[in-house]
Structure 1
Amino acid sequence: MLVTAGLFIAGLVGLVAGAELLVRGASKLALSFGLSPLVVGLTVVAFGTSAPEVAVSVGAALQGQADLAVGNVVGSNIFNVLFILGVAALITPLVVDRQLIRQEVPIMIGVSVLLLVMALDGRLGLGDAALLLALQVGYTVFLVRQSRAQTAQAAAQTDDLPAAAAPQDWDAKLPAQFVLIVGGLVLLVAGSQALLTAAVTVAKSLGVSDLVIGLTIVAAGTSLPEVATSVMAAIRGQRDIAVGNVVGSNVFNILGCLGLAGLASGSGLPVPPAAMAFDLWVMVAVALACLPVFVSGREIARWEGGLFVAYYAAYVTWLVLQAQQHSAAQPFSAAMLGFVAPLTVVTLMVVLIKPAATRR
């Protein structure tokens, strides 16, 4: 038990330190390369913080554990939106960039629906995996080119260049920025693995099933770098990185992570029937829920963050009740579908319509 507690503490320290280094290095790198902090969050930070998901899903695919490979990605995407954005918004309301509303969130919704469609036949084949990975490469190239073009256009209009780090700052040089990013990623991955090992050990000792562990503890554990990075970015005022990290990670988890895992398997990944029946639909619904929340006032308010966290708690509660075949599972599900979810939809519609009416 002492070893488990030690792993937990060491992992927590690694996450906090790694997030601080990564956010600082990424924000400086954005200025050096003429990229916006949003695009750095969508690419460099998102890819780096998704490294644990890649490691777990590819490793699971190589070992023939398709349930874990798919469940990890689906569970991580649900966790990223509901828990990470929720906690970050509770710390400070997150202003949402227009590009996220107009482009990135629709892309996240689109790839979520694409995964659902691909999974309808019960399998992600090698062709599906190759297509997902090709889309990831194309999306990344598009983002970088778009950002550099926008930066050049803005510089031409103002006859000035974006402000870079002061020359006297030690992290103004590219080598120092890469050291910060790489060092932060190493600490994040190591810290998340330590925390994940401790959590799984405790869960196993309590008799929690592998399915629930995969959808909750493994998914949350591999998303801990995103938690640390987005929370630290929110605290430091780098809100574009905080939100962009989550959206970028969700897109990368589906396109890059599942694409690599599917190819690594050599024969594709069978989709668990339970995930097809429930969790994939929840993932798509969560992605769709981002749009009205982001559009209303172009920010994620504290109450919306609290709503996200509450829904994640409800999702985990349902999973545990269902896995244990508890008698409360059915009434709980009926209450969520019949009362809480419709009430939330009505509330969001009122919030969305009210600003529009005010503008008239």
Structure 2
Amino acid sequence: MWTQLVALLAGFALLVWGAERFVMGAASTARLLGVSPLLIGLTIVGFGTSAPEILVSLMASLNDNPGLAVGNAIGSNITNVALILGVTAILVPLSVHSGTVHRELPILLGTTVVAWLLLIDGRLDFADGLILLSGLIIMLTWVIWLGLHSRDKDPIEAEYAAEIPTNMTLGRSLFWLLFGIVILVASSRLLVWGAVEIAEAFGVSDLVIGLTIVALGTSLPELAASIASALKNEPDIAIGNVIGSNMFNLLAVLGIPGIIRPDAVDAAVLSRDMPVMVALTVALLIMAWGFRGEGRINRLEGTVLLACYIGYQSLLYFTTVR
């Protein structure tokens, strides 16, 4: 058991470090090639913070553990909103100034509802995976178009520009880009092995491990990025990273097992986990949209979100431990 626990913790640590190296190298490479900060932030940063979830989903699916992949996708979305934004808002209340973030909020809610409807028949099959991955292509196309044709100066662009490394050569940038990918692949394999072994030892399902330990571990890059952004007075990035990550989780992380390992979905996903994820997404939209002025997640709302996370973890414990 100690070997599996060390593998799990080492996998988490390497995933976080590898994701940070990958984002740094990719963002610097894109900057040196003349890509705008807004486009870099909306694509590379969004993909990079979701890279751990995507790689874990791929490895779990290839390892014939689709439940772990599904749990990771849904659990990460719940963790991102309830835990990450909750803790971040308690530390530093978050205000929304970016028009891009406002546009992405209803799209995230719509994508969340579509994913729920695709799973409502109790299966995640090839057609579902194809629809989700097609949605990913559509989303990326829209984001790239937005980054290329945006005429209004979005406040989030200046925040992204401040975060992109400016002191790296192209060769060094490419090195960290490729090395980050290698670390992500290796650490995701290590993490999946450790997680599956621990699940079997404790007699819990891959789904529950994915919803809890793995979801928390793969969301660590978003937690670090959101807190760091908030402390630097970059609230739009803090919220935008969560929105982008949740979109990638729904379309890519949930789509991958549908393509590689179509399978039945645990009934608890539909009755317990998906409703919680949808409710938290609605709450995020209400808080961050700003129907009567500027969108803002204050400390009280952050406390409510954190309480929801604790309540959800308690629900998982009492519904899975006999």
Measured in 2, the distance between the counterparts of 1:281 and 1:110 equals: 14
User: How many aligned residue pairs are there?
Assistant: 313
Measured in 2, the distance between the counterparts of 1:213 and 1:115 equals: 21
TM-score (norm 2): 0.79
Measured in 2, the distance between the counterparts of 1:322 and 1:90 equals: 29
Of 82-91 and 8-17, more deviation after overlay is shown by: 8-17
**Map of 1:305 onto structure 2:** 302
8 Å CA contact 1:21–1:180 kept in 2: the answer is yes
Letter in 1 for 2:36: L
CA shift, 1:230, in A, is 2.4
CA shift, 1:321, in A, is 1.1
Q: Are 2:139 and 1:145 equivalent residues in the alignment?
A: no
Of 294-303 and 233-242, more deviation after overlay is shown by: 233-242
CA shift, 1:66, in A, is 2.9
**Map of 2:225 onto structure 1:** 229
- Return 5+ residue gaps in structure 2 as ranges: none
Q: Are 2:286 and 1:292 equivalent residues in the alignment?
A: yes
Q: Deviations over 1:23-63 (max 9, x none)?
A: 766776786645345x5444212212222222222333334
- Structural mapping, 1:132-281, within 5 Å: 132-150=132-150, 170-171=167-168, 173-179=169-175, 210-265=206-261, 268-281=262-275
Q: Are 2:41 and 1:44 equivalent residues in the alignment?
A: no
8 Å CA contact 2:159–2:237 kept in 1: the answer is no
CA shift, 1:285, in A, is 1.0
Q: Percent identity?
A: 40
Measured in 2, the distance between the counterparts of 1:189 and 1:228 equals: 21
Q: Sort the Cα spacing of 1:84 and 1:190 in 2 relative to 1 into closer, same or farther, 3 A.
A: farther
Letter in 2 for 1:292: I
Of 272-281 and 312-321, more deviation after overlay is shown by: 272-281
Measured in 1, the distance between the counterparts of 2:116 and 2:277 equals: 9
Q: Sort the Cα spacing of 1:154 and 1:273 in 2 relative to 1 into closer, same or farther, 3 A.
A: closer
Measured in 1, the distance between the counterparts of 2:184 and 2:127 equals: 32
8 Å CA contact 1:29–1:177 kept in 2: the answer is yes
SS in 1 for 2:36: coil
CA shift, 1:252, in A, is 0.8
Measured in 1, the distance between the counterparts of 2:93 and 2:41 equals: 18
Letter in 2 for 1:221: G
TM-score (norm 1): 0.71
Measured in 1, the distance between the counterparts of 2:105 and 2:111 equals: 10
CA shift, 1:178, in A, is 4.9
- Give the structure with higher Rg (CA): 1
Measured in 1, the distance between the counterparts of 2:184 and 2:209 equals: 21
Q: Are 2:60 and 1:64 equivalent residues in the alignment?
A: no
Q: Give the aligned CA root-mean-square deviation in angstroms.
A: 3.7
SS in 2 for 1:170: coil
Q: Sort the Cα spacing of 1:115 and 1:92 in 2 relative to 1 into closer, same or farther, 3 A.
A: same
8 Å CA contact 1:53–1:72 kept in 2: the answer is yes
Measured in 1, the distance between the counterparts of 2:210 and 2:161 equals: 43
CA shift, 1:291, in A, is 1.0
- Return 5+ residue gaps in structure 1 as ranges: 156-160, 326-360
Q: Sort the Cα spacing of 1:197 and 1:80 in 2 relative to 1 into closer, same or farther, 3 A.
A: farther
